[in-house]
Amino acid sequence: MPTSHIDLRSDTVTLPTPTMRQAMATAEVGDDVYGEDPTINALEELAATTAGKDAALFVPSGAMGNTAAILTHCRRGDAIVVGSLAHIYIYEVGGAARLNGSPYLPVPNLPDGTLDPAALASCLGMGEDIHESHVGLLCVEDTQNMCGGRVLSVAQLRDYAALAARHGMPMHLDGARAFNAAAALGISLAELVAPATSVMFCLSKGLCAPVGSMLAGSQDFIAEARRVRKLLGGGMRQAGILAAAGIVALREMVDRLPEDHALARRLADHLGNIPGIAIDPTVVETNILFFSLADASRDVADFTAALAREGVLMSGFPDGRIRAVTHYGITADAIDRAAAAIARSLVA
Ligand SMILES: Cc1ncc(COP(=O)(O)O)c(C=O)c1O
């Protein structure tokens, strides 16, 4: 992709910072499958402390972190309760079903990212009847990507965890962008994820590391997840070279996330003033925003292609929505130019 493009498809397009590259070049490494990579060990300790959990595990991707959590928490064939718009449900290649024989019990996500309370209660209560699978896990997502980076509060997470516990199951948090949620709430990651039995958070999105996510939880949970990571092919040997960038991500890239949120709001405000764009700027809470075209007959792929010709990249979805994600490297000027390009693309 030409670097001249303003790339708002995702925060996964962020590049490692110069400090990360320097740290990677000089990282001390060893065989992590033997537990002998000092840089990975340091990252795992830092991540556990940052998340307020006993232990943490470095995994190559968010999807592997979530899948390892499901395989660790659940017996084979246990159903998992997930949001209908959850990444785990839609975008992880059916990992829970394919690898653990786990049926999904999808609960409708409401526009604010929360789960429909009646459907949630009904799904968590399943498993008594002989026709039903035992239910092994509640999975929640914060921020909720496909609802527009919406933030679930600590109180909300506490309620979900308590509900899950009442039905005898743990709660896993897909916190790919949990740092964004914590920043929006003005609290630490540890405070946010305290209610979750386990949490996955990504280093490779808004925090700019080239590779990697962390899975955190109790000592016993992480010890078993380490075995599952090996099963999934995630035992990575001298991956301290990658962990070095992760340490920089946790130390240096968290505090700047509110800048991304301000730019998303800036873009939303622009879009709110463009006739032909349908958006509610008031629901933009973090670095993700969705909008749609007031002219529903306009093909979204055609619009994003016109926008790309203007030098701006965004993601179109089959439901007619278009997503923009702000991140490190995007400036206020780029946002202003992106908004002008959107206005031009509407008539292209
Ligand atoms: C909410 C959410 N969870 C999990 C993931 C998976 O992360 P990865 O792409 O590192 O597998 C993503 C990726 O975009 C995500 O948005």
Residues 81-124 have pLDDT tens digits of 999 999 999 999 999 999 999 999 999 999 999 999 999 999 99
For residue 70, being part of any structural domain is answered with yes
From 202, 215, 286, the mutation candidate for ligand 1 (largest count of ligand atoms within 8 A of CB) is: 202
Residues 80 and 174 in one domain: yes
Burial class (CB in 10 A: 0-12, 13-18, 19+), 1: exposed
Residues 81 and 134 in one domain: yes
Tell me, what's the pLDDT at 347? 87
Per-residue pLDDT averaged across 179-200, rounded? 98
Residues 271 and 248 in one domain: no
Rounded Cα distance between 190 and 26, Å, is 30
Residues 156 and 276 in one domain: no
Tell me, what's the pLDDT at 296? 87
Distance 79 CA to ligand 1 centre (A): 21
Residues 228 and 281 in one domain: no
pLDDT digits (tens, 9 = 90+) for 16-59: 999 999 999 999 999 999 999 999 999 999 999 999 999 999 99
Residues 135 and 48 in one domain: yes
Distance 239 CA to ligand 1 centre (A): 20
For residue 323, being part of any structural domain is answered with yes
Residues 228 and 285 in one domain: no
pLDDT digits (tens, 9 = 90+) for 296-322: 899 999 999 999 999 999 999 999 999
For residue 1, being part of any structural domain is answered with no
Tell me, what's the pLDDT at 1? 46
pLDDT digits (tens, 9 = 90+) for 211-270: 999 999 999 999 999 999 999 999 999 999 999 999 999 999 999 999 999 999 999 999
Distance 176 CA to ligand 1 centre (A): 6
For residue 248, being part of any structural domain is answered with yes
Reading phi first (left if > 0) and then psi (alpha if -120 to 50, else beta), residue 276 is in left
The residue assigned the tokens 């463009």 is 274
CA distances from 4 to 47, 313, 314, 333, 334 (A): 34, 11, 14, 13, 11
Residue with CA nearest ligand 1 atom 8 = 62
Which of 252, 279, 313 represents a domain boundary (last residue)? 252
What residue type is assigned to position 247 of the chain? I
The residue assigned the tokens 């999105």 is 205
Biggest distance spanned by C-alpha atoms of the chain: 60
Distance 144 CA to ligand 1 centre (A): 11
Rounded Cα distance between 328 and 321, Å, is 23
166-201 as b/e, with b when 16 or more CB fall inside 10 Å? Answer: eeebbbbbbbbbbbbbbbbbeebbbebbbbbbbbbb
From 66, 87, 146, the mutation candidate for ligand 1 (largest count of ligand atoms within 8 A of CB) is: 87
Beta strands per DSSP E along 304-343: 312-313, 315-316, 321-325
CATH number of the CATH domain containing 326: 3.90.1150.10
Which of 252, 286, 308 represents a domain boundary (last residue)? 252
How much is the pTM? Answer: 0.97
Helix (H) or strand (E) holding 341: helix 332-346
* Residue 337 structural domain: 6-13+256-346
Residues in the chain: 348
Number of domains in the chain: 2
Residues 241 and 277 in one domain: no
Residues 176 and 139 in one domain: yes
CATH number of the CATH domain containing 66: 3.40.640.10
Enumerate residues lining ligand 1, CB below 6 A.
12, 61-63, 87, 141, 145, 174, 176, 202, 204, 213
Residues 61 and 173 in one domain: yes
| 111 phi/psi in degrees, rounded to 5 | -55, -25
Residue with CA nearest ligand 1 atom 9 = 62
From 139, 145, 179, the mutation candidate for ligand 1 (largest count of ligand atoms within 8 A of CB) is: 145
- Closest ligand 1 atom to residue 145 Cα is 1
- Candidates 134, 132, 145, 70; CA nearest to 100 is 70
